[in-house]
Amino acid sequence: MTFESLHDRDELEAFFTRDPVLHLYSLGDLDPAFWPYTSWYGVREGGALQEVVLLYLGLALPTVQAFASGDPARAAALLVELLPALPARFHAHLGPPELEHTVREHRAFSPYGLSLRMCLADPAGLHIPDPDGLVVLGGADEPAIRALLASAYPGNFFEPRMLSSGLYLGVRRGGELAAMAGLHVRSERYHAAALGNVATQPRFRGQGLGRAVTAALCRRLRARGIHHIGLNVREANSAGRALYEGLGFETRLRYQEGIVSIAP
């Protein structure tokens, strides 16, 4: 096996499209808007790429995506090779369990809990009317977005530049941002998008606003030719899972999420 830094976007695309749901975020990060924040590492056998790990530096806390495409032992060996070169502290998505166990052998790991990767499998669930007060959110809405996320979704991953896509949608009630749905990554070139920061103010819950704004966002993505649409949700978040299942999403992957750091 040989380990190396990867720079060929076409090769990475070919690798990720073998399983676009597993590698949804990585596909989106191939887009020119995200590519400058990425570092890619892989392992080969017989010249063929077998496993890839992504280090993403576009958020306040670096993020590592490590999902075994084939042999978990091979993916774990790649992680062991990389750990000395990775940041002292980073957010990690790790699957299957062998990768979490490998990380724990070398660094401190603080898990958030198990998460699910869900993908849109049946778009029939999206055919609900746009909610009254639906708006496209932009830079001027950042204070309202942060207030909503602080109230409804602490521990979120939001950066203002995410709003440049024109695909952050909100619902206003009485001038207040009551619900929203946005994207973590998206690429029209690679037909992939990962939803993120879907949230409803607690006092507006139970009115179907989260479901309606998420459906509206998915319809806009599909109209742009994006047919790999997915998201991550905590396994313990039964309300969120029910919302997405009602829209036609299904679970495709179970993995561990948490913070990796050098033990003091």
Residue 264, pLDDT score: 58
Residue 204, pLDDT score: 94
Per residue in 69-106, pLDDT tens? 999 999 999 999 999 999 999 999 999 989 999 999 99
Distances (CA, A) of 215 to 49, 174, 182: 36, 22, 11
Residue 1, pLDDT score: 67
Per residue in 5-40, pLDDT tens? 999 999 999 999 999 889 999 998 998 888 999 999
For residue 188, report the phi and psi dihedrals to the nearest 5 degrees. Answer: -70, -35
> How many whole angstroms separate alpha carbon 142 and alpha carbon 157?
13
**Nearest 5°: CA angle at 160, between 157 and 166?**
105
What letter does residue 55 receive in the DSSP assignment?
Answer: E
Per residue in 106-148, pLDDT tens? 999 999 989 999 999 999 999 999 999 999 999 999 999 999 9
- What tokens does 246 get? 């009602």
CATH topology of domain 2-116+255-261: Aminopeptidase (3.40.630)
Per residue in 201-230, pLDDT tens? 999 999 999 999 999 999 999 999 999 999
Residue 164, pLDDT score: 84
Residue 119, pLDDT score: 96
What residue spans in the chain does CATH classification 3.40.630.30 cover? 2-116+255-261, 123-247
Per residue in 149-193, pLDDT tens? 999 988 777 888 888 888 999 999 988 999 999 998 888 888 999
> Would you list the DSSP string of 36-68?
GGEEEEEEEETTEEEEEEEEE-SSSS-EEEEE-
Determine what percent of the chain is predicted with pLDDT higher than 70.
99
Kindly state which CATH superfamily the domain 123-247 is placed in: Gcn5-related N-acetyltransferase (GNAT) (3.40.630.30)
Please report which confidence band the pLDDT of residue 260 belongs to, taking 50, 70 and 90 as the band edges: very high
